Amino acid sequence: MDTAAGQLKKSRAFFCLECGKCTAVCPISRYNNSYSPRRLVAQGLFHGTDELIDNPLLWSCLTCQLCSQRCPVDVKFSDFMRDVRTEAHRQGKHGNASHQGALLHVMEMSANAKLKPKRNGWIDKSMKVAKRGDVMLFVGCLPYFEDFFAKDFGYSPLSVARDAVKILNHLGIEPVVSDNERCCGHDLYWLGNMESFDDLARINLKEIELAQAKTVVTACAECALSLKKLYPERLGANGFEVKHITEFVAENLDKMRFKEVEAEVTFQDPCRLGRYLQVYDAPRDALQSIPGLTISEMPHNRQGAICCGTTNWMNCDATSRQIQHNRLAEAKATGAKTLVTACPKCRIHFQCSECGDETDKVDIEIADFTNIVASALQD
């Protein structure tokens, strides 16, 4: 049964004026002439879902929302892509997953409530954590990223979790860290696997309830979006507040003591933190509160920031690498020594693009917001 009409209606795609503004700003279209959001909308309008789900370009969209932001009639193209992918998933059709689909399989396996993961082996005696409390730290997929990327990239994704605990401890907070927490499900949601996403959401919501948390803090932009907006969208209102670590730090700057750090950085606005959650000032306010640290903005910043080039561990290809390379070049052109991002995946994707031949490297340091703030704290 063709559900294209309903999907197009929800996404307002029927209002498309074919002005081409979406294609003009799309990071994928810039490097892949065969890709155009407008053409995909037209295919859905005139030929329906059955043909569109067989189009391999369906899985190329980054759902970064640059197109929707520029659309004069508010076509929600990212939502349209999600809904068509949901139909594709129902029919057993999938895109070209990165890393042989291993990370997506981990997410799907995590949706099994009978599994009992042991995720807290990274917590040591220097960290003060609790089993119940007002504040919970949602760690997300950092333990899995550690296993997949730490050795090759020479940095520890779990250092973000450790430093998040350090920041909270500095504020006198002993956060709850659940040993049974799972992946937030963000990628499964945008790939149309709603059943597994809902299962993950229920498991995580139960853990938050058991923790008795009133505030959930996460250092991942995708986790923040999932917990704050996607879970309520699918399962109803939450009884807790969600804060990305940039927001939590910015709101508690009067309680934090920083040492001087001479550094010039530029900031990468993650799509999920920026265009989805409208969090732009908090990371900048926090970074600028560190004595000696200055921010040099890239031309494409805040609402106009360019995506890190890959999402949902899908279609990581030459186009992705071009997006990443040019974004890093834009960062380096500011004169900054370090590109700071506030989503672990952004760092992983940028770090990956710097692997390979020396001639292909931009050679700029890449760091996570949480690591930068934690390293600047006075003991």
Total structural domains in the chain? 3
312 and 354, same domain (yes or no): yes
Please indicate, yes or no, whether residues 125 and 246 belong to a single structural domain of this protein. Answer: yes
Out of 65, 90, 115, a domain closes at 90
Mean pLDDT of 100-120: 92
**Claim to verify: residue 125 and residue 196 sit in the same structural domain:** yes
- 136 and 240 fall within a common domain: yes
- Residue 309 tokens read as 């080039």
Q: Calculate the alpha carbon distances from 130 to 58, 173, 267, 320 in Å.
A: 44, 9, 32, 40
Same domain for 106 and 243, yes or no, is yes
Residues 21, 150 within the same domain:
no
Q: What is the pLDDT of residue 140?
A: 96
CATH number at residue 341: 3.40.50
- Mean of pLDDT values over 334-358: 92
Residue 1 has pLDDT above 90, yes or no: no
Residues 152 and 199 in one domain: yes
pLDDT of residue 3: 56
User: Which residues constitute the domain of residue 60?
Assistant: 4-90
For residues 239 and 110, membership in a common domain is answered with yes
CATH number at residue 16: 1.10.1060.10
The per-residue pLDDT of the chain, averaged, comes to 92
Statement to judge: residues 103 and 85 lie in one domain: no
pLDDT score of 2 more than 50: no
The per-residue pLDDT for range 37-93, each reduced to its tens digit, is 999 988 887 887 788 899 999 999 999 999 999 988 888 999 999 999 999 999 999
Q: Are 226 and 114 in a shared domain?
A: yes
- Who has greater pLDDT, 258 or 101? 258
Alpha carbons 58 and 112: distance in angstroms, whole number: 28
Q: Same domain for 119 and 27?
A: no
pLDDT in tens, 309-335: 999 988 888 899 999 999 999 999 999
* Statement to judge: residues 102 and 62 lie in one domain: no
